């Protein structure tokens, strides 16, 4: 067997040569040494012996060998896909390489994270403050559904959005530097779920209210639920040039106090519309402290809930025409107006739905009913016809409810607890089965397909599959190849780590005739709900370092407080002290800050290095300060020194052999 | 090729049968299907074709195939080792399975983490408050060195300790539930590094001051550095029965204002002593705002720094005899007393040392000098003889400096930037080379070994290796088998994720004649410094669920505020409201909390389930409340409702098909 270091060296060189080549093809093209299996240092017979011997020692089956070889990434070879997974109530986003299933990065999104300095620097504190609720800055979120920006219905690799279910917020992540730039708080409701789903050109980010409250979560007794409580669907306008959601151009559509669940934007045939499933049309609010049934009973009484159907392009016109009301500073189209304008409909759907997924061509909407073993497929064309034909009756709020039979294309029985559907490149659909712990594969139907709308097979999962994610499986051009089950329970899958267990992502190969399990990945850093998988070569704009020295990552522009080497200084104005600081291997300048108790201090710190990976950190003991300054970045932190003492600050990123010497002293003399 | 689901099913059953069997042997013994390679559905020739075909498609070399097969863990098969890695300035600890290199859990340690509810519940807020500095509760740490508890010099799998370099704190993690139970702030200094290293029976956790300050980080001008600034070494007493560090029985030894780096406890031959390398004996404090050289120059002037040698058993006696001084509430042995009592010595060591590692037999201490291509090996016996023979001169502080030649056993030239040494089961040592980006393997010498103290070979690393970790490689019985390079730079190893890159852990097989690279693991959730790898079968006491319903994880005893099903209630006393709450799939009781603006609320929440993995979460919008309640746990949270409104609370852990219905309403009427 050859020495590995020789191969690894070769790979580094080839990789360097290939720099800029598409990640997707690099694994195969950059190496191209499969032929060595016959002609190299290992003969076929040696290889067989080696495989046999390791398999016996480690108890590997032939399928295990196959899976190992299909997921292993040699040193320096990049994954073909990146998976962006929500972190659930960790409040973060995970970036995972596929097929290796390695976590490449945790992106601090809603929760302060000191390795990244998120929530510690002035500008990231401001991002968190923007997302305050009732004036309180929060230190967590319940992230559910990441939404990659799209152009013509395909991922464009530029932006990522994600919702906070717990507090009805949306975060914006820039995929040049993988950092969170904005958090917006929904002014109309306090709880969301059907977000962040984007329209085909990222015109809007859809965000649906889950638990109904009075508008803007004001106070009203539960007895007034039907009258005072409301749902809503918000359309956040995204300004690509600014890289920000523009609340001034965003709006909501008022809805009955049903609870909105998952949503999806129409595309292709259904461009301009959106679909959300809606449950608790029973309007249960639980016992209310009395004898009413609890929600899990009260909200499961009716055989049918609704698919909510909104024409968002029409809604945009209606808002433009001034027909919306101002509610807490943002327009809301009243239900009455939405109905009059013909932009809001409901279609009955089987009980307790979860998942409304539009097929790649935009012609159909697949709905899963958690308490129904079927998926129900609606035809967008039939919905339009039912509207045109007036085949509807108003619900208690006057919202038209279309005739079920007129809108349904098909129903396919899949198994127990269907939740969420994804698509591949061969006209197949995949639906998670929470109660059956599996993923069903079935064939889409429609014009020209005789044997469609039919279950093909099922792969067991371990255990309780929630969402699933196929490669670009919710876009107009699904990739096929890989599917991931986001399993909620792990039980015995991994070595015990105490009563709080990881989740389990199971990677499945869907390229062949049979679905094959490739890998079990523990997720022990949060509870992902949904994930999106993007071909890595679509991520064209990732920065290795910031564009120039003295860069402000919040503005994505040169910083006004950047400092060059030799220009470091401390300026005092009364008890306001401003420190213009630089870091470079292995010095922080200035290395001495002389203060008086009570001083207000601002440090502007520039990492003047432009070498890839030459990140510096900055910790100031006792002050809750921990910054990460990537190559070229300028960042700032402000604080008050209210205690006299001696505080050695230092670089927290192990940057060089003399990294421990990269420090300085802040002295605070007693007042 | 067989359908994977058949194999997987088989494995689940076997695993269930084997429950409680040692993890180490499970992979081989529980499966035992290597024989199928010849007799099963895949013939040897098919296998060869399959391997060949996948290797060609994916560009895998024979070495890649070997590595893939040596690291792949089939679904449900548990890793042989657990790696506990510091999270650096993330302030957390990572638990990683070896050889699969999968993150099994991030343990919230010093930084609030909402998935675990750490820093959100009342008891975990109290843990963080215990670690406050100057009265400020901190939200981060710079964790460097995890220390597993030991019995007779071997890991016993019961406790984990870790330091916070930035603020001189130590955290205690209970390895029954993998949760942080205690944070202690060092009252004597503000910055540590040489912690958390345990003595062979976990009598003490060693914690050495890094950047010197006046005692208890009081104010004194830098000009008074030599007179007023001091180092120290703290010995934290661990009370195993209480599961807590006992500050009342802990103490420090005062040291000159040199900077203490890594430490290790003596063992075997050197039991009762400890060793720390000490740099900046030049006493540089940087420019001081003037013309003095910066630290990276000032602290690198002398050819020799010191190995600090302390007899901690003697120190314990001295403290017991009342000869220590009280400094900020904890005893400190003055240098003069330490010298008089013969418990403190220094031995010259080559410049800018990093790493002082005691050999498994305790006879030698291996020191790396970052700016010296050698490791220097000291003989404990020779050190003792030099002390007995009076071969020392006092330094400026009166601390005896032993004669270098009298103490040194050998020096071995390894390469550039040696940092840290680990050991295997074959008498070999492994030393990281930061500047050479590699790991040197060399042979230990000593009595009866003719060809010892000799370099054998080197494996390249990518890139800039800091610490390294061999399986149980710092204990009295190293395991060999696996070695991990904790590489500080990743550069081109992984798909780009913006200017802040992951670290790179490289897993190396050290069982054979050549060191072989097995796996590159990105660490994108912090910057680990040191890690310890423990055989998974040593972790005997891990709880799947808490011992009984209504368990207080902080006290590890039944909770006084646990609530049983049917006993849920809301008690009001003026504007103090106490809610006794339960969660069980799929209901939170009570599901209605009726409040007035200004009420002080305490919720005591019990997860009454005792099924493994049946964790529930609890989020209250707008209140910054996110709890994780594992099976059996009771936890509490207190808050003030200062805003009127309607707040739907819910279970954040996707526990069941009707999980979305597991909610309630908190109403706050205007005052």
Pull the structure tokens for residue A296: 């899990």
For B153-186, the pLDDT digits (tens) are: 999 999 999 999 999 999 999 999 999 999 999 9
B207 CB contacts (<8 Å, ≥6 apart)?
A: B163, B168, B170, B186, B192, B194, B195, B196, B233, B234, B235, B236
Q: What is the pLDDT of residue A81?
A: 98
Report the residue of chain B nearest A193, measured CA to CA. Answer: B660
Which tens digit of pLDDT belongs to each residue from A133-151? 999 999 999 999 999 999 9
Give the pair of three-digit tokens for residue B119: 């820093």
Phi, psi (deg, nearest 5) at residue B27:
-60, -45
Output the pLDDT for position A104: 98
Per-residue model confidence (pLDDT) at position A1 = 29
Tokens representing B589 are 């009781």
Q: Choose from A500, A588, A645 for mutation: most chain B CBs within 10 A.
A: A500
| B-contacting residues in A 356-385 (Cβ below 8 Å) | 370-371
pLDDT at A583 over 80: yes
pLDDT for res A355: 86
- What is the average pLDDT across A340-359? 93
Contact B500 A50 (CB under 8 A): no
Contacts with B35 from chain A: Cβ below 8 Å:
56
Q: Alpha-carbon distance B265 to B62, whole Å? A: 42
Which one-letter DSSP state was computed for residue A412? E
What pLDDT shows up at residue A38?
Answer: 31
Rounded Cα distance between B223 and B75, Å, is 62
Query: Residue B351 — very low, low, confident or very high, per pLDDT cuts 50/70/90?
Result: confident
pLDDT digits (tens, 9 = 90+) for A193-204: 989 999 999 999
Look up the pTM and report it. Answer: 0.95
- The model's confidence at residue A24, banded by pLDDT at 50, 70 and 90, is very low
Judged against a pLDDT cut of 70, whether residue A33 lies above it is answered with no
More confident residue, B41 or B479: B479
Q: What is the pLDDT of residue A662?
A: 97
Which residue in chain A has the smallest CA separation from B296? A661
What is the tens place of the pLDDT at every residue in B57-76?
999 999 999 999 999 999 99
Q: Is B556 on the interface with A (CB under 8 A)?
A: no
pLDDT band at A337 (very low <50, low <70, confident <90, very high): very high
Query: Which of A75, A134, A175 lies closest to B517 in CB terms?
Result: A75
Distance CA A183, CA A127 (A): 6
Over residues A561-566, mean pLDDT: 98
Contacts of B542 in chain A (CB under 8 A): 496-498
SS3 category, B32: coil
From CA B269, how far away is CA B200, in angstroms rounded? 12
pLDDT at B44 (0 to 100): 58
Asked if A296 and B658 come within 8 Å (Cβ–Cβ), the reply is yes
CB contact under 8 A, B285 and A665: yes
What is the predicted pLDDT for the residue at A351? 77
Residues B633 and B162: their CA atoms lie apart, in Å, by 25
Find, in chain A, the residue whose alpha carbon is nearest to that of B88: A115
A325-340 burial, b at 16+ Cβ within 10 Å, e below that, comes to eebeebbbbebebbbe
Selecting from B9, B66, B499 the residue whose C-beta is nearest the C-beta of A54 gives: B66
**Residues 6 or more apart from A464 whose CB is under 8 A from it?**
A434, A435, A437, A487, A488, A489, B654
Q: Chain A partners of B114 at a C-beta cutoff of 8 Å?
A: 89-91, 111, 139-141
> To the nearest whole number, what is the mean pLDDT of chain A?
93
Q: Give pLDDT, residue A37.
A: 36
Q: Residue B20 has what pLDDT?
A: 32
Quick one: pLDDT at residue B355?
86
pLDDT at B438: 97
Residue A329 has pLDDT above 50, yes or no: yes
Minimum-distance CB partner of B62 among A1, A222, A279: A1
Q: For residue range B252-282, what is the model confidence (pLDDT) as tens digits?
A: 999 999 999 999 999 999 999 999 999 999 9
% of chain B with per-residue pLDDT over 70:
93
Residue from A49, A63, A569 whose CB has the most chain B CBs within 10 Å, to mutate:
A63
Mean pLDDT of A361-387: 95
Say which residue the tokens 């005792």 belong to.
B610
Please state, for a pLDDT cut of 90, what percent of chain A lies above it.
91
- Residue B7 binned pLDDT confidence (cut-offs 50, 70, 90): very low
> Would you state the pLDDT for residue B60?
97
Of A27, A229, A613, Cβ closest to residue B501: A613
Q: Residue B479 and residue B426: Cα distance in Å, rounded?
A: 9
**A623 reaches B (C-beta below 8 A):** yes
Interchain CB contacts (distance < 8 Å): A and B = 670
State which residue of chain A sits closest to B536, comparing Cα positions. A495
State yes or no: pLDDT of B34 exceeds 90. no
For residue B448, the distance in angstroms to the closest alpha carbon of chain A comes to 32
Interface check B584 vs A, CB under 8 A: no
Assess B135–A contact: CB distance below 8 Å, yes or no: yes
CA gyration radius, chain B: 27
Is any Cβ of chain A less than 8 angstroms from the Cβ of B590?
Answer: yes
- Residues B624, A139: C-beta atoms closer than 8 Å: yes
List A residues 435-494 in contact with B (Cβ-Cβ < 8 A): 435, 459-460, 462, 464, 466, 488-494
pLDDT over threshold 50, residue A447? yes
Rg (CA), chain A: 27
pLDDT at A5: 29
Q: What's the pLDDT score for residue A369?
A: 81
Mean local confidence (pLDDT), A595-618:
98
Helix (H) or strand (E) holding A123: helix A122-130
Q: Quote the pLDDT of residue B45.
A: 66
Contact A542 B91 (CB under 8 A): no
Interface of A with B in 508-537 (CB under 8 A): 514, 516-517, 520-522, 524-527, 529, 536
Closest partner residue to A61 (CB to CB) among B36, B178, B544 is B36
Express each pLDDT in A420-440 by its tens digit. Answer: 999 999 999 999 999 999 999
Check A76 against B493: CB less than 8 A apart: yes
> H or E segment at B180?
strand B179-185
In tens, the pLDDT along B602-627 reads 999 999 999 999 999 999 999 999 99
Report whether pLDDT(B131) > 80. yes
Longest dimension (CA), chain B: 86
C-alpha span between B583 and B561 (Å, rounded): 14
Burial B29-60 (b: 16+ CB within 10 A, else e): ebbebbebbeebebeeeebbebbbebbbebbb
The three-state secondary structure class of A320 is helix
Q: Please indicate if any CB of chain A lies within 8 Å of the CB of B566.
A: no
Across the interface, of A135, A498, A646, the residue whose CB is closest to B214 is A646
């Amino acid at each position: 067997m050859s020495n590995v270091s020789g191969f690894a060296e070769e790979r580094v060189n080839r990789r360097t040569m290939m720099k800029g080549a598409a990640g997707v093809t690099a694994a195969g093209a950059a190496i191209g040494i499969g032929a060595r299996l016959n002609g190299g240092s290992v003969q076929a017979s040696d290889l067989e012996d080696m495989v046999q011997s390791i398999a016996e020692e480690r108890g590997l089956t032939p399928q295990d060998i196959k899976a190992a070889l299909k997921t292993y990434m040699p040193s320096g070879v990049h994954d073909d896909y990146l998976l962006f997974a929500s972190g659930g109530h960790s409040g973060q986003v995970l970036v995972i390489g596929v097929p290796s299933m390695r976590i490449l990065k945790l992106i601090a999104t809603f929760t302060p994270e000191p390795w990244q300095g998120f929530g510690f620097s002035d500008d990231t504190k401001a991002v968190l403050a923007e997302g305050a609720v009732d004036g309180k800055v929060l230190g967590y979120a319940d992230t559910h559904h990441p939404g990659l920006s799209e152009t013509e219905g395909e991922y464009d690799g530029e932006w990522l959005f994600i919702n906070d279910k717990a507090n009805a917020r949306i975060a914006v992540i820039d995929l040049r530097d993988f950092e969170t730039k904005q958090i917006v708080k929904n002014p109309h409701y306090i709880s969301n779920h059907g977000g962040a789903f984007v329209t085909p050109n990222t015109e809007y980010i859809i965000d649906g209210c889950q638990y109904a409250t009075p508008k803007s979560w004001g106070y009203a007794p539960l007895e007034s639920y039907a009258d005072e409580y409301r749902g809503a669907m918000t359309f956040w306008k995204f300004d690509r040039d600014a890289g920000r959601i523009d609340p001034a151009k965003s709006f909501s559509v008022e809805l009955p106090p049903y609870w909105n669940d998952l949503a999806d934007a129409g595309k292709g045939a259904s461009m301009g519309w959106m679909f959300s499933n809606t449950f608790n049309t029973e309007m249960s609010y639980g016992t209310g402290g009395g004898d009413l049934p609890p929600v899990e009973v009260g909200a499961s009484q009716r055989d049918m809930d609704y698919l909510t159907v909104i024409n968002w392009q029409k809604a945009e016109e209606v808002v433009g025409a001034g027909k919306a009301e101002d509610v807490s500073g943002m327009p809301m189209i009243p239900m009455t107006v939405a109905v009059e304008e013909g932009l809001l409909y409901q279609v009955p759907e089987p009980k307790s739905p979860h998942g409304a997924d539009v097929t790649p061509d935009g012609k159909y909407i697949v709905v899963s009913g958690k308490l129904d073993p079927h998926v129900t497929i609606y035809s967008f064309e039939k919905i339009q016809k039912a509207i045109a034909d007036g085949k509807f009756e108003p619900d208690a709020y006057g919202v038209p409810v279309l005739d079920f039979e007129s809108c349904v294309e098909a129903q396919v029985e899949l198994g127990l607890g269907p939740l969420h559907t994804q698509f591949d490149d061969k006209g197949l659909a995949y639906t998670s089965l929470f109660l059956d712990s599996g993923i069903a594969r079935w064939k889409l139907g429609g014009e020209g397909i005789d044997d469609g709308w039919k279950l093909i097979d099922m792969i067991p999962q371990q255990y309780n599959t929630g969402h699933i994610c196929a490669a670009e499986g919710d876009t107009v051009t699904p990739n096929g190849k890989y599917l991931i089950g986001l399993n909620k329970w792990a039980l015995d899958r991994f070595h015990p780590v105490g009563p709080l267990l990881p989740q389990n992502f199971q990677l499945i190969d869907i390229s062949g005739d049979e679905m094959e399990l490739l890998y079990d990945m523990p997720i022990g850093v949060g509870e992902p709900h949904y994930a999106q998988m993007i071909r890595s070569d679509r991520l064209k704009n990732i920065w290795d370092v910031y564009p120039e020295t003295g860069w402000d990552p919040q503005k994505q522009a040169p910083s006004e407080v950047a400092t060059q080497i030799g220009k470091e200084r401390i300026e005092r104005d009364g008890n306001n002290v401003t420190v213009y600081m630089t870091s470079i291997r292995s010095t922080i300048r200035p290395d001495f800050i002389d203060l008086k108790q009570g001083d207000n201090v601002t440090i502007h710190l520039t990492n003047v290095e432009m070498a890839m990976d030459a990140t510096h950190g900055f910790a100031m003991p006792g002050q809750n300060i921990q910054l990460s300054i990537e190559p070229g970045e300028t960042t700032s932190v402000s604080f008050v020194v209210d205690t006299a003492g001696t505080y050695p600050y230092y670089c927290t990123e192990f940057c060089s052999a003399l990294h421990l010497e990269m420090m300085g002293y802040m002295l605070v003399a007693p007042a």
